[in-house]
Amino acid sequence: MHLKPAAPPSLLRGAAYLRDLTSAVASAQRRVRLTALTVSRDALTSDLIDALIDAAARGVDVRVSADVFTYTAGSASMVGGAMPSRRRTSAAALDRDLRGAGGTMRWLGRETGLPFRGRTHTKLTVVDDVAWSFGGVNMDDPGVTNVDYMLRVEDAALADSLSSLHDAIAAEAPRERMPAQVLDHAVGRVLIDGGRPGESAIYAAALAWARRAESVLHVSQYCPTGPLGREVARRADGLWFNRPRQAAFANATLIASSMATTGHRTRYRREPYLHAKALVFTMPDGERVAITGSHNFVAAGVRLGTREIALETRDPHVIDQIERFHTEHVRAGARAPHTHGV
Protein backbone atom coordinates (compact mmCIF):
# COMPACT_ATOMS: atom_id res chain seq x y z
CA MET A 1 0.00 0.00 0.00
CA HIS A 2 1.45 3.37 -1.04
CA LEU A 3 1.55 6.29 1.38
CA LYS A 4 -0.10 9.50 0.28
CA PRO A 5 2.20 12.13 -1.26
CA ALA A 6 3.68 14.62 1.20
CA ALA A 7 1.67 17.37 -0.52
CA PRO A 8 -1.14 17.36 -3.10
CA PRO A 9 0.18 17.19 -6.69
CA SER A 10 0.52 20.60 -8.32
CA LEU A 11 0.03 21.45 -11.99
CA LEU A 12 2.79 23.83 -13.11
CA ARG A 13 2.90 25.69 -16.43
CA GLY A 14 6.19 25.51 -18.30
CA ALA A 15 7.89 28.61 -16.86
CA ALA A 16 6.77 27.78 -13.30
CA TYR A 17 8.02 24.21 -13.71
CA LEU A 18 11.39 25.46 -14.92
CA ARG A 19 11.74 27.87 -11.97
CA ASP A 20 10.71 25.23 -9.45
CA LEU A 21 13.04 22.63 -10.93
CA THR A 22 16.00 25.02 -11.12
CA SER A 23 15.56 25.91 -7.45
CA ALA A 24 15.29 22.24 -6.46
CA VAL A 25 18.41 21.26 -8.41
CA ALA A 26 20.34 24.12 -6.78
CA SER A 27 19.64 22.57 -3.36
CA ALA A 28 19.70 18.88 -4.39
CA GLN A 29 21.49 16.56 -1.99
CA ARG A 30 21.42 13.06 -3.49
CA ARG A 31 20.15 12.67 -7.04
CA VAL A 32 18.85 14.39 -10.13
CA ARG A 33 17.30 12.58 -13.09
CA LEU A 34 15.99 14.32 -16.20
CA THR A 35 14.52 12.78 -19.36
CA ALA A 36 12.99 14.75 -22.24
CA LEU A 37 12.76 14.62 -26.01
CA THR A 38 14.85 17.81 -26.28
CA VAL A 39 17.31 19.36 -23.82
CA SER A 40 19.42 22.37 -24.74
CA ARG A 41 20.98 25.47 -23.24
CA ASP A 42 18.78 28.34 -24.39
CA ALA A 43 17.99 31.76 -22.98
CA LEU A 44 15.30 30.31 -20.71
CA THR A 45 17.05 27.08 -19.71
CA SER A 46 20.60 28.35 -19.09
CA ASP A 47 20.07 28.74 -15.32
CA LEU A 48 18.83 25.15 -15.08
CA ILE A 49 21.80 23.85 -17.07
CA ASP A 50 24.16 25.78 -14.79
CA ALA A 51 22.40 24.33 -11.74
CA LEU A 52 22.75 20.78 -13.13
CA ILE A 53 26.47 21.28 -13.71
CA ASP A 54 26.97 22.84 -10.27
CA ALA A 55 25.07 20.00 -8.59
CA ALA A 56 27.22 17.40 -10.34
CA ALA A 57 30.37 19.27 -9.35
CA ARG A 58 29.44 19.16 -5.65
CA GLY A 59 28.86 15.40 -5.78
CA VAL A 60 25.13 15.02 -6.51
CA ASP A 61 24.35 12.03 -8.75
CA VAL A 62 23.16 13.95 -11.84
CA ARG A 63 21.98 12.00 -14.88
CA VAL A 64 20.38 13.62 -17.92
CA SER A 65 18.93 11.81 -20.95
CA ALA A 66 17.57 13.32 -24.14
CA ASP A 67 16.77 12.05 -27.60
CA VAL A 68 19.20 12.79 -30.42
CA PHE A 69 16.14 14.47 -31.92
CA THR A 70 17.42 17.47 -29.89
CA TYR A 71 19.98 18.24 -32.58
CA THR A 72 18.83 16.51 -35.75
CA ALA A 73 17.42 18.16 -38.85
CA GLY A 74 14.02 16.73 -37.87
CA SER A 75 14.03 18.86 -34.77
CA ALA A 76 14.14 22.06 -36.79
CA SER A 77 11.19 21.00 -38.91
CA MET A 78 9.15 19.93 -35.90
CA VAL A 79 9.72 22.77 -33.43
CA GLY A 80 10.55 25.46 -35.97
CA GLY A 81 13.17 28.19 -35.96
CA ALA A 82 16.20 26.42 -34.52
CA MET A 83 18.95 25.43 -36.96
CA PRO A 84 20.30 21.88 -36.51
CA SER A 85 23.94 23.01 -36.49
CA ARG A 86 23.35 25.45 -33.62
CA ARG A 87 21.43 22.87 -31.60
CA ARG A 88 24.15 20.28 -32.24
CA THR A 89 26.83 22.67 -31.00
CA SER A 90 24.77 23.44 -27.90
CA ALA A 91 24.22 19.73 -27.24
CA ALA A 92 27.92 18.99 -27.55
CA ALA A 93 28.75 21.76 -25.07
CA LEU A 94 26.12 20.48 -22.61
CA ASP A 95 27.50 16.96 -22.90
CA ARG A 96 31.08 18.16 -22.33
CA ASP A 97 30.28 20.45 -19.41
CA LEU A 98 28.04 18.02 -17.54
CA ARG A 99 30.46 15.11 -17.95
CA GLY A 100 33.35 17.36 -16.95
CA ALA A 101 31.56 18.17 -13.68
CA GLY A 102 31.03 14.48 -12.90
CA GLY A 103 27.49 14.08 -14.21
CA THR A 104 26.13 11.73 -16.86
CA MET A 105 24.70 12.75 -20.25
CA ARG A 106 23.03 10.11 -22.40
CA TRP A 107 21.81 10.70 -25.96
CA LEU A 108 19.01 8.30 -26.89
CA GLY A 109 17.92 6.88 -30.23
CA ARG A 110 19.34 7.29 -33.71
CA GLU A 111 19.58 10.24 -36.05
CA THR A 112 18.41 8.31 -39.11
CA GLY A 113 14.94 6.97 -39.91
CA LEU A 114 11.41 8.28 -39.54
CA PRO A 115 11.01 11.27 -37.19
CA PHE A 116 8.64 9.38 -34.84
CA ARG A 117 10.14 5.88 -34.93
CA GLY A 118 11.85 4.82 -31.73
CA ARG A 119 11.85 8.29 -30.16
CA THR A 120 11.98 8.82 -26.42
CA HIS A 121 9.09 11.20 -25.97
CA THR A 122 8.95 10.61 -22.19
CA LYS A 123 9.22 13.64 -19.90
CA LEU A 124 10.24 13.17 -16.28
CA THR A 125 12.47 14.80 -13.70
CA VAL A 126 13.43 13.68 -10.21
CA VAL A 127 15.28 15.69 -7.56
CA ASP A 128 15.84 13.73 -4.35
CA ASP A 129 12.27 12.65 -3.39
CA VAL A 130 10.27 15.03 -5.60
CA ALA A 131 9.09 14.11 -9.11
CA TRP A 132 7.84 16.22 -12.01
CA SER A 133 6.18 14.34 -14.88
CA PHE A 134 2.86 13.51 -16.59
CA GLY A 135 3.02 16.54 -18.87
CA GLY A 136 4.78 17.49 -22.08
CA VAL A 137 7.34 20.20 -21.30
CA ASN A 138 10.68 19.87 -23.09
CA MET A 139 13.84 21.55 -21.84
CA ASP A 140 14.36 24.27 -24.42
CA ASP A 141 12.85 27.66 -25.17
CA PRO A 142 9.93 26.37 -27.30
CA GLY A 143 9.20 23.64 -24.76
CA VAL A 144 8.98 26.07 -21.87
CA THR A 145 6.81 28.64 -23.66
CA ASN A 146 4.27 26.29 -25.25
CA VAL A 147 0.80 25.89 -23.71
CA ASP A 148 1.78 22.96 -21.55
CA TYR A 149 2.36 21.78 -18.00
CA MET A 150 3.95 19.21 -15.70
CA LEU A 151 2.65 17.71 -12.45
CA ARG A 152 4.81 18.12 -9.35
CA VAL A 153 4.47 15.23 -6.88
CA GLU A 154 6.26 14.99 -3.52
CA ASP A 155 6.33 11.21 -3.21
CA ALA A 156 9.50 9.23 -2.46
CA ALA A 157 8.11 5.99 -3.88
CA LEU A 158 7.12 7.67 -7.16
CA ALA A 159 10.49 9.44 -7.32
CA ASP A 160 12.22 6.07 -6.91
CA SER A 161 10.12 4.53 -9.71
CA LEU A 162 10.76 7.39 -12.13
CA SER A 163 14.46 7.46 -11.26
CA SER A 164 14.66 3.74 -12.05
CA LEU A 165 12.74 4.29 -15.29
CA HIS A 166 15.19 7.01 -16.34
CA ASP A 167 18.14 4.71 -15.68
CA ALA A 168 16.52 1.75 -17.47
CA ILE A 169 15.87 3.85 -20.58
CA ALA A 170 19.41 5.23 -20.51
CA ALA A 171 20.87 1.73 -20.24
CA GLU A 172 19.07 0.37 -23.30
CA ALA A 173 20.91 -0.11 -26.56
CA PRO A 174 19.51 1.95 -29.47
CA ARG A 175 17.47 -0.95 -30.87
CA GLU A 176 16.23 -2.28 -27.50
CA ARG A 177 12.76 -1.49 -26.19
CA MET A 178 11.27 -2.47 -22.84
CA PRO A 179 7.69 -3.78 -22.63
CA ALA A 180 4.82 -1.54 -21.65
CA GLN A 181 4.34 -1.29 -17.90
CA VAL A 182 1.70 -0.22 -15.38
CA LEU A 183 2.87 0.84 -11.91
CA ASP A 184 0.48 1.50 -9.01
CA HIS A 185 1.21 4.58 -6.91
CA ALA A 186 -0.69 6.71 -4.43
CA VAL A 187 -1.47 9.37 -7.04
CA GLY A 188 -2.76 6.77 -9.54
CA ARG A 189 -1.52 4.29 -12.12
CA VAL A 190 1.68 5.21 -13.94
CA LEU A 191 1.39 4.01 -17.56
CA ILE A 192 4.69 3.47 -19.36
CA ASP A 193 5.15 2.77 -23.07
CA GLY A 194 8.52 1.16 -23.56
CA GLY A 195 8.73 1.86 -27.29
CA ARG A 196 7.82 -1.51 -28.76
CA PRO A 197 5.95 -0.94 -32.04
CA GLY A 198 2.23 -1.60 -31.72
CA GLU A 199 2.29 -1.78 -27.90
CA SER A 200 0.93 1.08 -25.78
CA ALA A 201 -0.39 0.85 -22.23
CA ILE A 202 -1.44 4.50 -22.50
CA TYR A 203 -3.45 4.25 -25.72
CA ALA A 204 -5.08 0.99 -24.57
CA ALA A 205 -6.12 2.45 -21.20
CA ALA A 206 -7.45 5.63 -22.83
CA LEU A 207 -9.46 3.61 -25.34
CA ALA A 208 -10.98 1.44 -22.61
CA TRP A 209 -12.06 4.48 -20.59
CA ALA A 210 -13.37 6.30 -23.67
CA ARG A 211 -15.64 3.39 -24.55
CA ARG A 212 -17.20 3.53 -21.07
CA ALA A 213 -17.39 7.31 -20.69
CA GLU A 214 -20.44 9.48 -21.07
CA SER A 215 -18.33 12.52 -21.98
CA VAL A 216 -14.66 13.26 -22.63
CA LEU A 217 -12.51 16.38 -22.38
CA HIS A 218 -9.76 16.23 -25.02
CA VAL A 219 -6.54 18.28 -25.18
CA SER A 220 -3.56 17.41 -27.39
CA GLN A 221 -0.96 18.80 -29.73
CA TYR A 222 -2.39 16.69 -32.56
CA CYS A 223 -5.71 15.58 -34.01
CA PRO A 224 -6.61 12.25 -32.34
CA THR A 225 -6.58 9.23 -34.64
CA GLY A 226 -7.42 5.54 -34.72
CA PRO A 227 -10.10 3.88 -32.58
CA LEU A 228 -9.37 6.21 -29.66
CA GLY A 229 -9.86 9.26 -31.85
CA ARG A 230 -13.25 7.99 -33.01
CA GLU A 231 -14.45 7.19 -29.47
CA VAL A 232 -13.26 10.52 -28.07
CA ALA A 233 -14.79 12.53 -30.92
CA ARG A 234 -18.19 10.94 -30.31
CA ARG A 235 -18.19 11.98 -26.66
CA ALA A 236 -16.28 15.28 -26.60
CA ASP A 237 -17.65 18.81 -26.65
CA GLY A 238 -15.27 19.50 -29.50
CA LEU A 239 -11.62 18.54 -29.86
CA TRP A 240 -8.76 20.80 -28.81
CA PHE A 241 -5.59 20.59 -30.88
CA ASN A 242 -3.47 22.95 -32.99
CA ARG A 243 -4.53 24.27 -36.37
CA PRO A 244 -2.02 23.32 -39.09
CA ARG A 245 -0.97 26.93 -39.64
CA GLN A 246 0.26 27.13 -36.03
CA ALA A 247 2.80 24.35 -36.51
CA ALA A 248 6.14 23.98 -38.24
CA PHE A 249 6.19 22.01 -41.51
CA ALA A 250 6.31 18.41 -40.28
CA ASN A 251 3.75 18.92 -37.53
CA ALA A 252 1.49 20.95 -39.84
CA THR A 253 1.57 18.15 -42.40
CA LEU A 254 0.69 15.56 -39.76
CA ILE A 255 -2.19 17.61 -38.36
CA ALA A 256 -3.60 18.46 -41.79
CA SER A 257 -3.42 14.87 -43.02
CA SER A 258 -5.04 13.57 -39.81
CA MET A 259 -7.87 16.09 -40.14
CA ALA A 260 -8.40 15.13 -43.77
CA THR A 261 -8.47 11.43 -42.92
CA THR A 262 -10.71 11.62 -39.85
CA GLY A 263 -12.89 14.63 -40.64
CA HIS A 264 -12.18 15.97 -37.14
CA ARG A 265 -11.95 19.71 -36.54
CA THR A 266 -10.46 21.69 -33.70
CA ARG A 267 -12.01 24.26 -31.40
CA TYR A 268 -8.63 25.64 -30.32
CA ARG A 269 -8.43 29.28 -31.41
CA ARG A 270 -5.65 30.77 -29.32
CA GLU A 271 -2.33 31.63 -30.96
CA PRO A 272 0.20 30.03 -28.57
CA TYR A 273 1.23 26.52 -29.63
CA LEU A 274 -0.73 23.88 -27.71
CA HIS A 275 1.52 21.09 -26.45
CA ALA A 276 -0.39 19.71 -23.44
CA LYS A 277 -1.91 16.22 -23.62
CA ALA A 278 -4.81 15.15 -21.41
CA LEU A 279 -8.11 13.29 -21.49
CA VAL A 280 -10.72 13.60 -18.75
CA PHE A 281 -13.41 10.92 -18.85
CA THR A 282 -16.73 11.42 -17.05
CA MET A 283 -18.53 8.15 -16.38
CA PRO A 284 -22.32 7.70 -16.37
CA ASP A 285 -22.28 7.70 -12.55
CA GLY A 286 -20.36 11.02 -12.49
CA GLU A 287 -16.95 9.56 -11.61
CA ARG A 288 -14.06 11.30 -13.37
CA VAL A 289 -10.85 9.67 -14.58
CA ALA A 290 -7.96 11.52 -16.21
CA ILE A 291 -5.03 10.39 -18.32
CA THR A 292 -2.32 13.02 -18.61
CA GLY A 293 1.26 12.79 -19.84
CA SER A 294 3.44 12.82 -22.93
CA HIS A 295 1.22 10.75 -25.25
CA ASN A 296 -0.63 12.69 -27.99
CA PHE A 297 -3.39 10.06 -28.43
CA VAL A 298 -2.50 9.39 -32.07
CA ALA A 299 -2.23 5.88 -33.49
CA ALA A 300 0.95 6.55 -35.50
CA GLY A 301 3.10 6.85 -32.38
CA VAL A 302 1.81 3.47 -31.22
CA ARG A 303 2.56 1.79 -34.54
CA LEU A 304 6.05 3.25 -34.79
CA GLY A 305 7.05 2.60 -31.19
CA THR A 306 7.52 5.75 -29.11
CA ARG A 307 8.54 5.79 -25.45
CA GLU A 308 5.88 7.65 -23.45
CA ILE A 309 4.66 8.13 -19.88
CA ALA A 310 1.25 9.07 -18.48
CA LEU A 311 -0.71 9.10 -15.26
CA GLU A 312 -4.17 7.56 -14.94
CA THR A 313 -5.81 9.12 -11.91
CA ARG A 314 -9.14 9.54 -10.14
CA ASP A 315 -7.71 12.19 -7.80
CA PRO A 316 -10.24 15.07 -7.94
CA HIS A 317 -7.52 17.57 -6.94
CA VAL A 318 -5.47 16.65 -10.02
CA ILE A 319 -8.49 16.50 -12.33
CA ASP A 320 -9.77 19.87 -11.13
CA GLN A 321 -6.40 21.41 -12.02
CA ILE A 322 -6.45 19.87 -15.51
CA GLU A 323 -9.95 21.16 -16.14
CA ARG A 324 -9.00 24.62 -14.85
CA PHE A 325 -5.94 24.60 -17.13
CA HIS A 326 -8.23 23.81 -20.06
CA THR A 327 -10.66 26.59 -19.18
CA GLU A 328 -8.00 29.25 -18.65
CA HIS A 329 -5.37 28.38 -21.26
CA VAL A 330 -7.03 26.25 -23.96
CA ARG A 331 -10.74 27.01 -24.16
CA ALA A 332 -10.49 30.81 -23.89
CA GLY A 333 -11.64 32.49 -27.09
CA ALA A 334 -13.14 29.33 -28.60
CA ARG A 335 -16.09 29.37 -30.96
CA ALA A 336 -19.12 27.12 -30.70
CA PRO A 337 -18.32 23.49 -31.54
CA HIS A 338 -18.10 22.49 -35.20
CA THR A 339 -20.18 19.34 -35.65
CA HIS A 340 -18.76 18.11 -38.98
CA GLY A 341 -16.86 14.87 -38.48
CA VAL A 342 -17.15 14.92 -34.69
In tens, the pLDDT along 44-97 reads 999 999 999 999 999 999 999 999 888 764 454 444 444 557 778 888 899 999
Dist CA 253 CA 129 (whole Å)? 41
Dist CA 125 CA 137 (whole Å)? 11
Dist CA 172 CA 67 (whole Å)? 13
Q: Is the pLDDT of residue 111 over 60?
A: yes
If we measure between CA atoms, which residue out of 268, 165, 177 comes closest to residue 224? 268
Predicted local confidence at residue 290, as pLDDT: 98
What is the dihedral angle through the alpha carbons of 2, 60, 109, 197, rounded to the nearest 10 degrees? 0
Nearby residues of 46 by Cβ (< 8 Å), 6 or more positions away: none
131-185 residue pLDDT tens: 999 999 999 999 999 999 999 999 999 999 999 999 999 998 767 789 999 999 9
pTM of structure: 0.92
If we measure between CA atoms, which residue out of 322, 317, 266, 250 comes closest to residue 292? 322
Amino acid at 94: L
**Side-chain-facing half-sphere of 160: CA atoms under 13 Å:** 7
Dist CA 333 CA 26 (whole Å)? 39
242-261 residue pLDDT tens: 999 999 888 899 999 999 99
- Count of C-beta atoms within a 10 Å radius of residue 121: 23
Residue 108 near residue 120 (C-beta atoms within 8 A): yes
- Mean of pLDDT over the chain: 91
The sign one gets for the Cα dihedral 302, 217, 214, 313 is: positive
Percentage of the residues of the chain whose pLDDT score is greater than 70: 89
Domains and CATH numbers, the chain: 7-176 (3.30.870.10), 188-330 (3.30.870.10)
According to DSSP, the β-strands at 307-313 and 188-194 are antiparallel
The sign one gets for the Cα dihedral 297, 301, 303, 305 is: negative
